[in-house]
Homo-oligomer: A and B are copies of this chain.
Amino acid sequence: VPIAGNVAIVGSASTSFGILHRYGYLDLVREAANGAIEDAGLHNEDIDAAWLSTALPDVVGMEGDSGTPITESIGFSPRPVTRVSAYCASGMEAVRNGAMAIAAGEYNVVLVVGAEKMRDVTPRGSLVARTGNLTHPTVGKGRSGPGFFALLASRYLDTYDRTTDDLSAVAVKNHEHATRNPIAQYSEPVTSEQVRSSPMIADPLRLLDCTPTTDGAAAIVLTSTEWARRRGVRHAVLDGVGFSVVDGYYSGLYNPKNDFLGFRATRAAAEMAYAQAGIETPREDLDLVECHDCFTITEIVNYEDLGLCARGEGWKLLREGATTTGGDIPVNLSGGLQSCGHPIGATGVRVVKEVADQVTGRAGARQVQGARRGVAHTLGGPGVLSSVMVITGSNGH
Number of this chain's copies in the complex? 2
Task: Flag whether A23 is at the interface (Cβ < 8 A).
Answer: no
- Can you sample 18 A-B contacts with CB below 8 Å? A2-B106, A62-B137, A65-B87, A66-B87, A67-B245, A68-B245, A68-B381, A71-B245, A71-B246, A72-B247, A77-B246, A78-B245, A78-B264, A84-B85, A84-B97, A97-B100, A100-B101, A124-B133
Task: Flag whether A384 is at the interface (Cβ < 8 A).
Answer: yes
Task: Flag whether A228 is at the interface (Cβ < 8 A).
Answer: no
C-alpha spacing A283/B93, complex, angstroms: 39
Of A1, A61, A133, most B-chain CB atoms within 10 Å? A61
Of chain B, the residue at the smallest CB distance from A105 is B2
Q: Which of B66, B70, B100 contacts A104 (CB 8 A)?
A: B100
C-alpha spacing A384/B133, complex, angstroms: 30
A144 nearest CB across to chain B (Å): 14
Chain B residue numbers with a CB within 8 Å of A76 are 245
Q: In the complex, how many residues of chain A place their beta carbon closer than 8 angstroms to a beta carbon of chain B?
A: 65
A96 nearest CB across to chain B (Å): 8
> Given known contacts A71-B245, A80-B243, what 7 new A-B pairs fall within 8 Å (CB)?
A62-B131, A62-B135, A62-B139, A66-B85, A83-B85, A97-B100, A100-B101
Of A56, A78, A243, A246, most B-chain CB atoms within 10 Å? A78
Task: Flag whether A75 is at the interface (Cβ < 8 A).
Answer: yes
Chain B residue numbers with a CB within 8 Å of A82 are 84, 86, 93, 96-97, 243
Task: Flag whether A199 is at the interface (Cβ < 8 A).
Answer: no
Of A80, A86, A89, A105, most B-chain CB atoms within 10 Å? A80
Task: Flag whether A140 is at the interface (Cβ < 8 A).
Answer: yes
C-alpha spacing A60/B249, complex, angstroms: 14
A379 nearest CB across to chain B (Å): 12
